[in-house]
Chain A
Amino acid sequence: DQQVKQNSPSLSVQEGRISILNCDYTNSMFDYFLWYKKYPAEGPTFLISISSIKDKNEDGRFTVFLNKSAKHLSLHIVPSQPGDSAVYFCAASGTDSWGKLQFGAGTQVVVTP
């Protein structure tokens, strides 16, 4: 069963605007969440993470928000740049699955001029 869901397969955003990517999860044992960015023919690159004891983490243009009661997290990228065009994966791990990342299906982001 898919415990991490990214329901938007694609997102198109104008350069300079905000990109908002969403992720939902079902496993209440998840306590650590990560976002990865992936270009074609490359491995995923770590972007930002958040633990369940926080509700927000910020790193430069990237901010991740966690709503534990809704089992929902989001990634905000502002301002969006052409180099941000990639597939973004949400991933989670928990106390019942140490080290085993569960990934969502990814969201393809296209940043247009």
Chain B
Amino acid sequence: GEEVAQTPKHLVRGEGQKAKLYCAPIKGHSYVFWYQQVLKNEFKFLISFQNENVFDETGMPKERFSAKCLPNSPCSLEIQATKLEDSAVYFCASSAIAAGYNEQFFGPGTRLTVL
């Protein structure tokens, strides 16, 4: 598609439950990025993919967070055993190339509320 699509728009989970978020990048874009925005503060980088391969996962809290980008499927970000501090808006972005002089296009975000 012409835009980055993210589902669901809102997600509410009880503490300890699993949360799974989805992202469909712009058609033809090879790179996908996940960012977390907590309480309108700055965005925190989580992970990036080049096609189905992890490109950079230095921002991922490894214990409970995992992500995948499989061929012919939306990318996903999964949080096992959610905690209150995971409440945030999760943005997905895509770009044609990872670095250099190329902008990332963002989706509308998924708001995760952990109760």
Bound state CA distance, A99 and B4, in angstroms? 17
Which A residue sits closest to B107, measured CB to CB?
A43
A49 touches B48 (CB 8 A): no
A93 touches B99 (CB 8 A): yes
Bound state CA distance, A49 and B31, in angstroms? 19
Main secondary structure of the interface of A (DSSP, over half): strand
How many A residues face the partner with a CB closer than 8 A?
A: 28
Q: CB-defined interface of A71-113 with B at 8 Å, one 1/0 digit per residue?
A: 0000000000000000101010101011111111110000000
Which of A4, A95, A97, A103 has the most chain B CB within a 10 Å cutoff?
Answer: A103
Partner of B101, one of A32, A98, A103: A32
A102 neighbours in B (Cβ, 8 Å): 45
Q: Does A63 contact B (CB under 8 A)?
A: no
B101 touches A51 (CB 8 A): yes
A44 touches B106 (CB 8 A): yes
Stretch from B53-61, B69-77, B78-86 contacting the other chain: B53-61
Residues of A within 8 A of B (CB): 2, 4, 32, 34, 36, 41-46, 49, 51, 87, 89, 91, 93, 95, 97-106
User: 23 A–B contact pairs at CB < 8 A?
Assistant: A32-B99, A32-B100, A41-B108, A41-B109, A43-B91, A43-B107, A44-B106, A46-B106, A49-B101, A51-B101, A87-B40, A97-B56, A98-B56, A98-B99, A99-B31, A99-B33, A99-B48, A99-B56, A100-B45, A100-B58, A101-B35, A103-B35, A103-B42
